[in-house]
Structure 1
Amino acid sequence: MYIDVIEDMDAFSQLRENWDEVYDADPHATLYLSWNWLFPWLENLNTPWVVLAAKESGSASRYVAFFPLRLDTRIDGTGRLFNDLRMAGSHAADYTGLISIPESEADAIVAFAQQIKRMNWADLVLDNFCGSDVRFSKLVSCFSQSKFTISQTDRVNKTDQVDNSICPYVDLPEDWDAYLETISSNTRQKLRRLLRAVDTNSEYRITHATKETVAADLNTLLRFWETKWRPRKGKLTDSLVRGHRGMLSRSFERGLLLLPTLWLGDRPLAALAILLDEQKKSLLFYITGRDESFAGPQPGLILHGHSIRYAISRGMKRYDFLRGNERYKYSFGVKEQRLYCYVVATRSGSNLGGRLDVRTLPDALKKATDLHQEGKIDQAARAYRQILETDPRNENTLHRYGQLLAGKSDHVAAKRVFKLLTRMRTDTYKPWLLLGQSCEAMGQYLDAANAYREVIRLQPGVPDIFSKLANVLFKAGRIEDARKALMTSYGVGVAGGEGDASFRVH
């Protein structure tokens, strides 16, 4: 089996037809692994991602399996950087994993694992992995226990004891009455009564979001959701709301969102965000929000009942409550499926290959720079060095590491860094300025003078640069040269021409 690594949107966009073919053939595929959901998600990710694409041979034109992944960067208290390889949909997708044509699955998984082991990471986070026991077992068996540890992640919420690795769902029959016979008589009677009231009572109504109303309907949903969850989630709430809004808005634009809202007159009572998978004939309940001050009929029961009835009328085959075994879900006659939540970690605790993934270096540099700005100098230095072990000519890292060394008065090391930068950044003055400052700090005044001359050649308007040049020349005993520099700074013509910076000192 041959693996291609897809890592840009242009290449991913060309996979649409092939991806849909594999998605349709995979009995375990869910909306979160559809091309239609993944495309806008990957397009808006702020961390690197890759899609591993498997085909029977290097010359084959059709892929038989895909494994979308993302790369995160973390840093410990000592400044050591690590990469985590995660499922591409992590932090938004209730279901993750891979998709494959069934007859190619085993070989594709082995090839995926071999490719993954050639990448640079410390943890492979298999979070919310959805698939058969055979699929998951085949994948983790490719990581030998002599080199890796494999541990399960506890997904039980300690506050309410909800197990988020359990996903209740309903297999939908062909008509509504047949569905009602699958639930308890008490729930059946409630649903009939409540939906009849909505259908016949002009006070209550249910609307579905349209192009004209979706922004307002999302605002209603997320306002209710925020009111309920902010006391528990605190500062995290704002980023969660932004994330929900972005993902749901993009889903609506691609025809993937059903957003029913229950109203009492002009007062919204509750709303559901449901993802719509026409390919797999599934509705996936994502989040809900309700007016907690409303004391009338149960809005959640009404909206879920309405949505299940709607799904059946559209010929859908599954109504999925997604993650969490909350008690109310079981009144709808659900079955359960369980997700795999595991971490495969290197026994060394360090990245495979002993270096960072080059795709993650911008994020690694940001983390190192944050440490530097916080005054955590030793940790920042360690992080900068680790980045340079992966990319010794990373210009931004060299620049900041050199500044850190100079700030520590390690001007010998700083000079080496800045000299390298002057050869790499031939069209900018800053490396020369920093080199001159380090040389001056070490008493290497002639070297400093030559560096400041380069600054003048590249950018004569740098504040006080002529004074800096004159100062080091004076310290080097080059009194006449210092005088020329000062005269030039005041715009006075001297031998060699006004403003002339052509001579070097030796």
Structure 2
Amino acid sequence: MRIDIIDRVETFHRLRDNWNAVYDADADAQLFLSWEWLAGWLPNLSTPWVILAARDDQPEDAPYVAFFPLRFEVKADAAGHLTNELKMAGSYAADYTGLIARPDAEARAIAAFVRQIRQLHWASFSVDNFRGSALRFRQLLAHFSQATFVATPLNRVNAHDQVDNAICPYAQLPPDWNAYLDTLSANTRQKIRRLLKLVDCGDAYHITHTTAATVQNDLRTLLKFWEARWRSRKGDSVEALVRSNFFMLLRSFERGLLHLPVLWHGDRPLAALATLMDARKRAFLFYITGRDETFDGPPPGLILHGHSIRHAIANGFTRYDFLRGNERYKYSFGVSEERLHCHVIATRDHRNLGGKLDPHAVAGALKLATERHQAGKLAEAEIGYRQILETAPRDDNTLHRFGQLLATKGDHRAAKRIFARLIEVRPDTFKPRLCLGQSCEALGQFSEAADAYREVARLQPDAPGIAGLLSRALLRAGRNEEALRLVASGAAAQPPIDGIPLPQDMPSASPRPPHTTAPTRAIPA
């Protein structure tokens, strides 16, 4: 079986029909692995993602029979050494993760997936919130040998309230609303009927469904209530969670995946409940709710869940999924349970497989190294830059920043070598040659510096101050006639580049001592 790596949105879009065929055939498939949800999620990820796509070797154009969406993160230890963490692509917005496969190809596809995963470069693989059969998960873990890897189960019990977030209650829905109510206790059944009658009459209370005109306001209302409830628990992460949920739910609405009823008392919003709709699997997935904690009246949560379940049944849905967490209130809705699989697989030496960063994670690694560089943590930044160049030796941004770091340290000989490599990669840009000239000046190699500055002038004739830098280098190289001709032309009167001072005494031909350090440039913000 052959594995192709899909890492471009355009390619993923072309897979829609093939993806949906596999999705429909897989009994374990769920919304967060659907083409529709991923099409709104993947293009907006801030970390690189890949989809492993499995198909038979023959014929050459055989359709794919399984897909495994993953993403990369970059981590740094205290010394600055960078490693890659492989995650499920939906984390952390998706309550469920996993893979999809045709039943007749599942075992072969999983074996091929793991062979490919072991060729990627990572130190840990977080297989978290994996929804699928116990057999599927065992097949996945079985291909990671204990000689190389350590597989550790993750505890998903919340220490604050003892909620087990690996348990997922769900209600199987019959085709008739009254038949569903008959599955509930008499007390819950009577309460739901009474509360829904309260909103159905539309006197004091009523429910609206979000539209294109109201979706942003409705989401803000929902998330404002949610934030007020959870800020004390979520702490500094609450703003990022609100922002992430807003955009994920907005994109879901745009793709026809969001059911969002809002409960009102007159003109006052009391609560909102966001549910994701999987039309292919006929499932409602309750995602997030928020209510006005100052309201003292009928229970908004019970009203909105009852309303949503009734709406789901009326529209032919067969499953109402409460997603992760075995909170007590969910069990009043006549639910069964499903358990998620949560493990982390790590290399025994805690280093990336193959000893290198994964090429897909270079941008994230550069971001971390640059942050350390800007913070003045030069030793940590240097480790990161060197790791990146082992994987991507021609990455121009890394070469530029690493050269600047070496120049800042005063290692101009090494900086010169890096800038020379950068010129090979970017021969038509002037900045690498400017940096090369500065390093050559710092080494007392004034003739080479002059040649570099002359190339800057050729590539960027109006570069401010370049004539002055060239004149200075020519004088210090003893090429006085060239320098004086340049001065006589008036070009050397231009303002300096990025604050680099021009020589005040141009006629002087006395060279700067070789050990003098030339100014260095700040790394870009």
Provide the TM-score with structure 2 as the length reference. 0.91
Output the CA distance in 1 between the equivalents of 2:161 and 2:373.
40
For residue 490 of structure 1, report the CA deviation from its aligned partner. 4.9
Task: Point out the more displaced range, 304-313 or 140-149.
Answer: 304-313
Once the two structures are superposed, residues 377-417 of structure 1 have per-residue CA deviations (whole angstroms, 9 ceiling, x without a partner) of 00000100000001111111111101100000001101111
For residue 144 of structure 1, report the CA deviation from its aligned partner. 0.1
Output the CA distance in 2 between the equivalents of 1:44 and 1:165.
27
Contact 2:275–2:286, Cα closer than 8 Å, also in 1 = yes
Once the two structures are superposed, residues 258-296 of structure 1 have per-residue CA deviations (whole angstroms, 9 ceiling, x without a partner) of 101111111111110000111111100000010111000
Task: Point out the more displaced range, 60-69 or 134-143.
Answer: 60-69
Report whether the alignment pairs 1:48 with 2:48: yes
Q: State the one-letter code of the partner of 1:282.
A: A
Partner of 2:405: 404
Contact 2:465–2:492, Cα closer than 8 Å, also in 1 = no
For residue 481 of structure 1, report the CA deviation from its aligned partner. 3.3
Contact 2:129–2:342, Cα closer than 8 Å, also in 1 = yes
Partner of 1:499: none
Once the two structures are superposed, residues 226-254 of structure 1 have per-residue CA deviations (whole angstroms, 9 ceiling, x without a partner) of 22122222332221111111111111111
- Correspondence list, 1:6-405, <5 A: 6-58=6-58, 59-405=60-406
Structure 2 vs 1, CA of residues 355 and 283 (structure 1 numbering), >3 Å: closer, same or farther?
Answer: same
Output the CA distance in 2 between the equivalents of 1:285 and 1:432.
58
Contact 2:285–2:323, Cα closer than 8 Å, also in 1 = yes
For residue 60 of structure 1, report the CA deviation from its aligned partner. 4.8
For residue 491 of structure 1, report the CA deviation from its aligned partner. 7.3
Unmatched segments (≥5 aa) in structure 1? 493-506
For residue 467 of structure 1, report the CA deviation from its aligned partner. 2.6
Contact 2:468–2:492, Cα closer than 8 Å, also in 1 = no
- Correspondence list, 1:351-500, <5 A: 351-490=352-491
RMSD: 1.6
Q: State the one-letter code of the partner of 1:123.
A: S
Task: Point out the more displaced range, 383-392 or 309-318.
Answer: 309-318
Contact 2:122–2:352, Cα closer than 8 Å, also in 1 = yes
Contact 1:368–1:383, Cα closer than 8 Å, also in 2 = yes
Output the CA distance in 2 between the equivalents of 1:405 and 1:491.
29
Output the CA distance in 2 between the equivalents of 1:55 and 1:431.
45
Structure 2 vs 1, CA of residues 472 and 204 (structure 1 numbering), >3 Å: closer, same or farther?
Answer: same
For residue 93 of structure 1, report the CA deviation from its aligned partner. 0.5
Output the CA distance in 1 between the equivalents of 2:157 and 2:242.
22
Output the CA distance in 1 between the equivalents of 2:150 and 2:18.
35
Structure 2 vs 1, CA of residues 461 and 178 (structure 1 numbering), >3 Å: closer, same or farther?
Answer: same
Contact 1:467–1:489, Cα closer than 8 Å, also in 2 = no
Once the two structures are superposed, residues 143-199 of structure 1 have per-residue CA deviations (whole angstroms, 9 ceiling, x without a partner) of 000001101122222222221111111111222222222222222221122112222
Q: State the one-letter code of the partner of 2:144.
A: F
Unmatched segments (≥5 aa) in structure 2? 494-525
Output the CA distance in 1 between the equivalents of 2:344 and 2:253.
33
Contact 2:471–2:492, Cα closer than 8 Å, also in 1 = no
Contact 2:429–2:459, Cα closer than 8 Å, also in 1 = yes
- Give aligned-pair identity as a percent: 59
Partner of 2:519: none
Contact 2:32–2:97, Cα closer than 8 Å, also in 1 = yes
Structure 2 vs 1, CA of residues 246 and 126 (structure 1 numbering), >3 Å: closer, same or farther?
Answer: same
Contact 1:466–1:488, Cα closer than 8 Å, also in 2 = no
Output the CA distance in 2 between the equivalents of 1:153 and 1:376.
33
Task: Point out the more displaced range, 428-437 or 272-281.
Answer: 428-437
Q: State the one-letter code of the partner of 1:16.
A: R
Provide the TM-score with structure 1 as the length reference. 0.94
What SS class does the counterpart of residue 20 from structure 2 fall into?
A: helix
